[in-house]
Each structure stands twice: as structure tokens, then as C-alpha cells.
Amino acid sequence: MKITVSEKKEIVIFRLKGRVIAPSTKRVLETVEETLIRHASSPRLVFDFREVSQIDGAGLGTLMKIYAEVRRCGGKIAVINMNKHIRNIIIRTRLIAILKCFKSEDDAVSALLQHR
């Protein structure tokens, strides 16, 4: 799995590529934790799933762990560009209730900037 990190208007964007499954989830968590050190106050994170082909329970658990940590810091998380399969998993596991889902990066960035 590959992770690319960029920033857009104070929002950190994680572009994931490949499968978000064990053991690659450890790399996702480490990358996010490194980012949170630099953005400790009210972090705003976007996870781009455009090139993610699969997510498993470990991947979902990692998202939940990241969500809990970011929320403790007063931050927000958004996910974008989920394929139908991943979106169905997010809905079935009821993570849709806590993860902000957007169709585009611009929509996610705009929404997260409004919730400072």
C-alpha cells in the first residue's frame, strides 16, 4: 500500500493506494500520527480512497482509532472518492454516522474549513 500526504488550505490529505488491510494499516496509523505531531491543534484530515481496492476489519479499526485520536484533539475527518464496495462496507458497519463523506476533495476541504 502507498500513502501520499499533501496539504490544501490547512487540511491534510492522505491519498491511499492499494489495499487497506492488515498489516499495511500500521503504516497508515504511523503516517497519521507523524502528521498529528505537526497539526496537534484541531487537525483536519481527508482520506482519499480513489485508488483503494479493498479494506478489511483492520483497516476499519484503524480509521476508528484515527477518528478517536483526532476527535480528542478537536479535529475532524472526512473521506472522499470511495468506490461502491468500500462505501457499502462503511454503511454496513455504521461508520457512515461518524465519518464525513464527500464526493470531491474541494467539497471536503470547504466543509472542514467551515468547522474550525
17: cell is 493506494
**Can you tell me the distance from the alpha carbon of 87 to that of 89, in angstroms, rounded to the nearest whole number?**
5
Low-confidence ranges of the chain (pLDDT < 50): none
**Can you tell me the distance from the alpha carbon of 78 to that of 97, in angstroms, rounded to the nearest whole number?**
12
Q: What are phi and psi of 65, to 5 degrees?
A: -65, -45
Enumerate domains of the chain plus CATH numbers: 2-110 (3.30.750.24)
User: The cell 479494506 sits on which residue?
Assistant: 55
